[in-house]
Amino acid sequence: MHRFLLGLIQLNSGTNVDLNLQKCENFIREAASEGAKLIGLPENFPFLGSEKEKLEKAEEIKTKTINLLSGISQKLNITILAGGFPNPAPNGKVFNTSVIFGPDGKEKFEYHKIHLFDTDPGDGIEYRESRTVESGETVPETYKSPELGNISSVICYDLRFPELFREIMKKDAEMIFVPSAFTKITGEAHWEILLRARAIENQCFIFAPAQTGVHLKGRETYGHSLVVDPWGNILGDAGEGEKVLLTEIDLEEVQKVRKRIPALKHRRIHS
């Protein structure tokens, strides 16, 4: 299948796990009813609240998330990217994990976020993801979907580390998800330019489903879920607010761009 319909779900997630997952299910069904075969959820889609509550609810969040997405992907015959949810780690913390569920309902891909958001970006909030999240250590694999093509995923802050994307390209990726909860202040400054840069550098599609709006304690996320093609063109921008962004993807564009400018083959410096 060289062409398919992509659905990116933009959310304003809160602390109510059941409510968040119900919204996800509603949007997934809406996207699938329009013909979407690949659907992406943002980082923190089942829960976005305090770090303490996240740890307390981690097992519940994981179980409910996997049960919902495994069942609905099989029922609707679609592929779903679970953009980032807490997954209990052995040391009492959690991993920030993304999973791809295939149309058979089975897990095809799992990645633990490597780069953790320990920053003071200037919005008055101190972010210390590492207090509760254990960093992953493994470069994401590529899920070679027979229906769609070669799919991988990073998570949010990973976007700022181009060397990670280069490692993924060694695994034949054609599409890379960047599920995110980008802060408004950094989103306004860097979101679009970084996503377009990663697409251009790696000559691949970038799919970035995002959180939007105001959350607990005034935390504000940027929205603007984006679809970027391998030439760096923006094919879709969700703007603000909760919604489904539907975009037609022509996977042949990957090979067309790589043939026009074979930069990946011209690399002289390798890690």
Question: Nearest-5° angle of CA 204, CA 173, CA 148?
Answer: 90
Pairing of strands 226-228, 205-208: antiparallel
Measured distance CA(256)–CA(263) in Å, rounded: 13
Q: What is the DSSP letter of 202?
A: H
How many CB atoms are located within 10 Å of the residue 32 CB? Answer: 21
142 Cβ contact partners less than 8 Å away, ≥ 6 residues apart: 109, 150, 151, 152, 168, 171, 172, 173
Q: Which residues are catalytic?
A: 43, 113, 156
Q: Give yes or no for a contact between 96 and 179, defined as CB atoms under 8 angstroms apart.
A: no
The candidate with the shortest Cα–Cα distance to 120, out of 183, 31, 204, is 183
Both structure tokens of 45:
């889609």
Strand ordering across the sheet containing 175-177? 143-145, 149-153, 175-177, 205-208, 226-228, 234-237
